[in-house]
Chain A
């Protein structure tokens, strides 16, 4: 399979040059690669999306899935995992949908820790509906719905995720396809709920928050919670100066939804091939514990 085998005949209606195209291409690449590597079967892969420009990705991917209502991609995905724990599921959402309408689902998803991936296309704007502010829009952002400017500080979703018990948090850049693909793969391979925040420009709305590439720097995969808190604090979605850390910000292995529920656990395939990998992961965990003690 090559990435284009995951294409559909639907007309692409994103603006010319929209970074969503790069997210789509990266998804096709990683998913087709992983199907070729027999990590999972094409039929076992499913996505959920909701409402917003980002979610048009649903129409451009030839994979199973449900295009949900605004903010509801996560409960739909988790429901799918309860229905069939063997599915590989990715939810693609925008910052407006997940951090506003779907915030309760976002916080609880970390607690449930279903083995799936959440990808947030964060352009700090409700673009499809002409640029109203979202929870991550910077203070002072002028829009048609808030012409006096946003009075509030933006939320920091990474800190929220950490506080909610996330087992995998990563941040990547829509313009850096290589990094994005690397992060996607790590996220999909993570056993548990993996959360990927993509910093993305919108070419039409909230352009003042665009072009942060120069401030971004790549970090090594981090497994320390304390360090993760510091990393998450470095960028608050508001300041026009300062560094923006990119990469795997936190990773820990904790029991997944599918492992915690006996009804789901017994449906999981018992694969012995992964045993060597599991062992190596265990070593990593013990190292982590040691580093914590230090």
Chain B
């Protein structure tokens, strides 16, 4: 069973509230949900919508056709009419305008009835959300009574938990004992900043907003030098500014983890929409040659795991870890019954000020940390950093999951993708003779990728960018050019049915 509810309206009307309540009700009822948020860069007005997908089996993406439309305004009906299945139900907020601030709850009442979920489930959720819930429950009843039950969902026994990528990054950070997060707000990295800031006192961490991204990254480096487990975070534009600090990290060898949540570039681009177009800068931002790791989780559970791995690796090898996400992963709400793997625990054991005399430098330095211009020392230091990366590569191959294979393991049809696109690919290949190779480490790249490509007869690259950045990386590392490429670059992530159609056309 799978169904999509489209909820649309102006910014500020409360569409997120409707999907939140319904996601909770559905989760408690044992159903998987995936909530895609499509919103504009404005505070009030415009047109925003959520696509809330419901399924009895795991899903990690949304579909283009909806069975229920919840319209807060006329524009929603006009915009989404063409995306409705035959016999779709439309609920308009206009019909419940008398409910005032409980309008969202009345609409949730409608949805609860249409889905065939007992009223008590919604009542529980409303009571959970509001201290004074009496009036809200009356509104919920009004909505509930106004509809017919169409979908007749049966209660399932799945223990569902829901998470966004942003929340998951915060959880991974907490699991690893992050001591400070220093950042400058930029969509869509701000979600993680908010999550980490909200719980800072309880979780004994400091979350500091600096005057710009250069300062944020530099402060983070100073903070890490002083002995704290530290992370900074930003989106593409801020990451550009951080370039010099990343380079500084390379030579100073002070552990640093950067959370990079991409959006549509170049420039200010389309700020509240999604793209996978920053893999290149994640791999290369910063002058000079120095080691780094680029980790690309594809769902919140992987975000928890890879955040911890990024912090672990940065500290262990005194390197730069880039944790690469994007708007679609950071802000969509996923559901799951899985739990993350055990956190790789670590402590700061290097020499730090306060207990030792220790120097770090942006210059090539001697063993004391003082400037050197010596040819032999320069070469030695470069060799040391290069070897460090080789050691780290071996360590990662041995200890961490660098790729995942989904779908039919013996299929000759191979789809390759990474990050937030993984969800749509996993859902699209259901029922197809295909397997999906998900790349979780973009640097280092797993040697397994070449072997998988060699085994396959049809290979398709799927990415949300125009040049096929992972494809180029694979070609650089393996010499193999992937000819079939499904690339989307309009700021909107792939929908599973749309992607399935494209894949079927190629196979």
Contact = CB atoms under 8 A, between A and B. Distances in A.
Interface of A: 8-10, 42-46, 48, 50-51, 56, 58-59, 62-69, 72, 75-84, 86-87, 104-105, 107-108, 261-264
A108 B219 contact: no
B211 A64 contact: no
Interface stretch (B113-121, B224-232, B466-474): B224-232
Contacts of B210: 75, 108
Contacts of A45: 353
Contacts of A43: 353-357
A208 to B, nearest CB: 30
B215 interface: yes
B214 interface: yes
Interface string B330-358: 00000000000000000000001111111
A280 to B, nearest CB: 29
Contacts of B370: 8, 10, 58-59
Contact of B353 (A10, A56, A64): A64
Nearest to A42: B357
B201 interface: yes
Contacts of B502: none
Contact of A68 (B224, B356, B362): B362
B219 A79 contact: yes
Contacts of B244: 69, 72
Given A76-B221, A79-B218, A83-B223, A67 B206 contact: no
Contacts of B252: 66
A79 B206 contact: no
B212 interface: yes
Given A63-B357, A79-B222, A68 B211 contact: no
Nearest to B370: A59
A72 B210 CA distance: 13
Nearest to B352: A84
Contact of A64 (B179, B201, B224, B357): B357
- What 10 A-B pairs have minimum CB-CB distances, sorted nearest first? A79-B222, A83-B226, A79-B219, A83-B223, A64-B353, A75-B218, A76-B222, A67-B361, A59-B370, A84-B226
A67 B222 CA distance: 11
Interface in B417-472: none
A46 B359 CA distance: 9
B361 A79 contact: no
B211 A105 contact: yes
Contact of B221 (A58, A64, A79, A263): A79
Chain A CB within 10 A, most for which of B204, B212, B222, B371 = B222
Interface of B: 179-180, 182, 200-201, 204-206, 208, 210-212, 214-216, 218-228, 230, 244-245, 248, 252, 254, 352-363, 365-366, 368-371
A51 B369 CA distance: 15
A84 B362 contact: no
B225 A83 contact: yes
A44 B353 contact: yes
Contacts, number: 148
A76 B219 contact: yes
A48 B227 CA distance: 16
Chain B CB within 10 A, most for which of A62, A68, A79 = A79
Contacts of A64: 353, 356-359
Given A8-B370, A82-B208, A86-B354, A75 B219 contact: yes
Contacts of A58: 359, 361, 370-371
Contact of A66 (B200, B216, B355, B361): B361
A84 B368 contact: no
B357 A66 contact: no
A75 B244 CA distance: 13
Contacts of B226: 46, 79-84, 87
A82 B216 CA distance: 12
A269 B360 CA distance: 26
B205 A263 contact: yes
Chain A CB within 10 A, most for which of B215, B230, B368 = B215
A228 to B, nearest CB: 24
Chain A CB within 10 A, most for which of B208, B244, B355, B370 = B370
Given A76-B221, A83-B230, A104-B212, A67 B360 contact: yes
A276 to B, nearest CB: 27
Contact of A75 (B222, B361, B369): B222
Given A67-B365, A87-B354, 7 more contacts: A8-B370, A67-B363, A72-B215, A79-B219, A79-B222, A83-B226, A107-B211
27 contacts: A9-B368, A10-B368, A43-B356, A43-B357, A50-B362, A58-B361, A63-B357, A64-B356, A64-B359, A66-B221, A66-B252, A66-B254, A66-B360, A67-B362, A69-B248, A75-B216, A75-B222, A79-B223, A79-B230, A82-B182, A83-B223, A83-B224, A86-B354, A87-B353, A104-B211, A108-B211, A261-B206
A59 B208 CA distance: 30
A149 B169 CA distance: 53
Contact of A8 (B182, B206, B355, B368): B368
A76 B217 CA distance: 9
Contacts of A66: 221-222, 225, 252, 254, 359-362
Nearest to B359: A65
A64 B370 CA distance: 11
B206 A69 contact: no
Contacts of A67: 359-363, 365, 369, 371
Contacts of B354: 43-44, 84, 86-87
Contacts of A42: 357
Nearest to A45: B353
Contacts of B357: 42-43, 62-64
Contacts of A46: 226, 353
A75 B214 contact: yes
A58 B359 CA distance: 9
Contacts of A80: 222-223, 225-226, 353
Nearest to B215: A75
B207 to A, nearest CB: 9
A82 B359 contact: no
Nearest to A46: B353
A138 B371 CA distance: 32
Nearest to B254: A66
B179 A83 contact: yes
B206 A263 contact: yes
B214 A79 contact: no
B211 to A, nearest CB: 4
A84 B358 CA distance: 14
